[in-house]
Structure 1
Amino acid sequence: MANTVLITGCSSGFGRATALEFARQGWNVIATMRTPAPDSMLASQPGVFVTRLDVQDPASIAQAIADGITQFGSIDVIINNAGFAVNTIFEAVPPEKVQEMFEVNVFGAMAVIRAILPHFRHTRSGIVINVSSGAGVFGLPMASLYNATKFALEGFSEGISYELAAIGVVVKLVEPGAAPDTGFPSRSGAESASVTAPAVYQPFVSDAQHMFQAFRNGASSDAIAQVAQGIYRAATDGSDRLRYVLSDDIKPMIVARRETGEEAYIAFMRSIFPYRQASPNTAS
């Protein structure tokens, strides 16, 4: 019998590519999204069951899990991929958007895990893969709130990894970097464009936006496929390894954060993100 994976956030980007990768490898795939499209390319794939799951709606989570088990008999792996960001100056982000980011990126993943655990306890097995980010390891300008959600996801995942090992469940974190055309930057870009930072920040905002665009432009053309393949390897390598860095572009910053001292790390990051201080007569 084929193994079964449930993946959140499959409408585009890493989620859709990961669903296709698992299907290509012969798995049953429960591909979930907030608003499933009737003509979704995933729906035509053998072994793929497309259904609704909104990580902010506990009833939809429970229903997707129940329907997936009915469809395939069991679920072996859960991949928490759904997420979004508002990338701009912290001061400019409305409190309700801060709350929404945590609801999707952190509380949503927690809700999915909570909902699957009775099934995993029953089977005494299972794998939870949480899609983190380089932004879950090192701080970035214009991404402080996304950093906050991914840092929280990293700490939560490590903490529960010890607990769930007691019932035979393995927890893993995957850390991708920049990728072109995932769908994530377009939603995040739209969300970010809806807020306006005070004028005094504009020189900094302009510099940071150009730098992040350079990162995206420098990403491998097959970065999305590489991340999907990396997630598949994490699910199938038979290990209890916790963290996987999936993108070469973030490795220098990962190494600086995890393998050097604090002063060397901060100096390195400040060399990447220099800033122009606003002139005294800039409007606030």
Structure 2
Amino acid sequence: MKKTVLITGASSGFGKATAEFFVARGWNVIATMRTPQDIPGTFVTRLDVEKPETIRAAVDAGLARFGRIDAVVNNAGYGLFGVFELTPEAKVREQFEVNVFGVMNVVRAVLPHFRENKGGCIVNVSSGAGVFGLPMISLYNASKFALEGFSESLSYELGALGIRVKLVEPGGVTSTKFGERSAKDASMSSNDIRDYDPFVLAANQVFAEMRAARSADKDATSEHVAEVIFEATNDASDRLRYVATSDILPLVEARRQTSESEYMAFMRARVGPKVSRMP
């Protein structure tokens, strides 16, 4: 019998690539998105992670179509870019509604089915930003740090029920539209405080250098991330975290394999914007 996976945020980027990857390997795919659009070989249905009623409807529709869901990939998400003080409160809340509470809503909707089946797999797409902090994305960092903590704790709760939880941690990739919403939201931020201007210019240079290095990384593609998501979904071990792109490995290793003082010195030297201080 074919296995079935439900994927959120499947209209583009990691989600679409993951849907196509699973289809190519013989899975039934419930491809969900806010505005449904066709993905060949998949069952497409509407799901907005900010609206729990659409989540329940999508799960019910998938079960009616295939009779069973074996795995869920929580991919839907986006990143706010900008200085915290300049970000409207409504945008702060939206960041958490999508990246944290949206994941929780999907997990809550599918758990009764997984418990009934005495098994299942939940794959939460995190980020390198869930491992280490970077300038100008404090809110995205906060949401992904929250997702990491939630997923780790949840893995203990659900492991006793035969339900696996996995975290996939990609870096930035050049073949996803993830940054489009981030750029749009950043442009909407108030910029009445000019004190941050030198810092913002320096931080933008840091990100430009990271993007240039990333473009040469053969692993920095949505297709490669989809392959890692597939690997995690099919891994029956109790492994929790999977780093999906090699561009973030130096930062991940610095965070997880060195002392706090060594890590902070490494990060400040590498990504801390060099801004001259006023006397």
Q: TM-score band, normalised by the shorter chain?
A: over 0.9
Query: Letter of the aligned partner of 1:170 in structure 2?
Result: R
Which residue in 1 is equivalent to 2:10?
10
Which residue in 1 is equivalent to 2:111?
117
Q: Distance in 1 between matches of 2:118 and 2:73?
A: 18
Mean CA deviation greater in 119-128 or 193-202: 193-202
| Paired residue secondary structure (1:170) | strand
Which residue in 2 is equivalent to 1:255?
253
Q: Indicate which of 58, 65, 69 corresponds to 1:64.
A: 58
Q: CA deviation at 1:210?
A: 2.3
Query: Alpha carbons of 1:279 and 1:159: their partners in 2 closer, same or farther (altered >3 Å)?
Result: closer
Q: What pairs with 1:158-169 in structure 2 (closer than 5 Å)?
A: 158-169=152-163
Which residue in 2 is equivalent to 1:214?
209
- What whole-Å deviation, never above 9, does each CA across 1:232-255 have from its counterpart, x for those lacking one? 111112222100001101100101
Q: CA deviation at 1:262?
A: 0.4
Q: What pairs with 1:82-93 in structure 2 (closer than 5 Å)?
A: 82-93=76-87
- What whole-Å deviation, never above 9, does each CA across 1:78-100 have from its counterpart, x for those lacking one? 01011112111000011110000
Structure 1 residue runs of 4+, over 4 Å off?
278-281
Which residue in 1 is equivalent to 2:273?
275
Q: Distance in 1 between matches of 2:25 and 2:35?
A: 26
Query: Letter of the aligned partner of 2:197 in structure 1?
Result: Q
Q: Distance in 2 between matches of 1:16 and 1:169?
A: 25
Q: Distance in 2 between matches of 1:101 and 1:274?
A: 24
Query: Letter of the aligned partner of 2:194 in structure 1?
Result: A
| Paired residue secondary structure (1:51) | strand
Q: What pairs with 1:13-24 in structure 2 (closer than 5 Å)?
A: 13-24=13-24
Q: What pairs with 1:132-211 in structure 2 (closer than 5 Å)?
A: 132-197=126-191, 198-211=193-206
Q: Distance in 1 between matches of 2:275 and 2:203?
A: 13
Q: Distance in 1 between matches of 2:224 and 2:141?
A: 23
Query: Letter of the aligned partner of 1:253 in structure 2?
Result: L
Q: Distance in 2 between matches of 1:274 and 1:167?
A: 43
Query: Is 1:77 aligned with 2:71?
Result: yes
CA contact under 8 A between 1:200 and 1:278: conserved in structure 2?
no
Q: CA deviation at 1:209?
A: 1.5
Q: Flag structure 1 segments of 5+ consecutive residues without an equivalent.
A: none
Query: Alpha carbons of 1:3 and 1:207: their partners in 2 closer, same or farther (altered >3 Å)?
Result: same
CA contact under 8 A between 2:206 and 2:273: conserved in structure 1?
no
Identity %: 53
CA contact under 8 A between 1:203 and 1:276: conserved in structure 2?
no
| Paired residue secondary structure (1:59) | helix
CA contact under 8 A between 1:83 and 1:104: conserved in structure 2?
yes
Q: Distance in 1 between matches of 2:205 and 2:28?
A: 41
Q: How many residues align?
A: 275
Which residue in 2 is equivalent to 1:129?
123
Q: Distance in 2 between matches of 1:274 and 1:66?
A: 47
Q: Distance in 2 between matches of 1:53 and 1:14?
A: 16
What TM-score does the superposition give when structure 1 sets the normalisation length?
A: 0.93
CA contact under 8 A between 2:8 and 2:15: conserved in structure 1?
yes
Q: CA deviation at 1:274?
A: 3.3
| Paired residue secondary structure (1:230) | helix
| Paired residue secondary structure (2:56) | helix
- What whole-Å deviation, never above 9, does each CA across 1:100-150 have from its counterpart, x for those lacking one? 000000000000000000000100000000000000011111011101000
Query: Letter of the aligned partner of 2:270 in structure 1?
Result: I
Q: CA deviation at 1:192?
A: 1.0
Q: CA deviation at 1:187?
A: 1.2
- What whole-Å deviation, never above 9, does each CA across 1:253-280 have from its counterpart, x for those lacking one? 1010000000000000001123343665
Query: Letter of the aligned partner of 1:93 in structure 2?
Result: T
Mean CA deviation greater in 152-161 or 236-245: 236-245
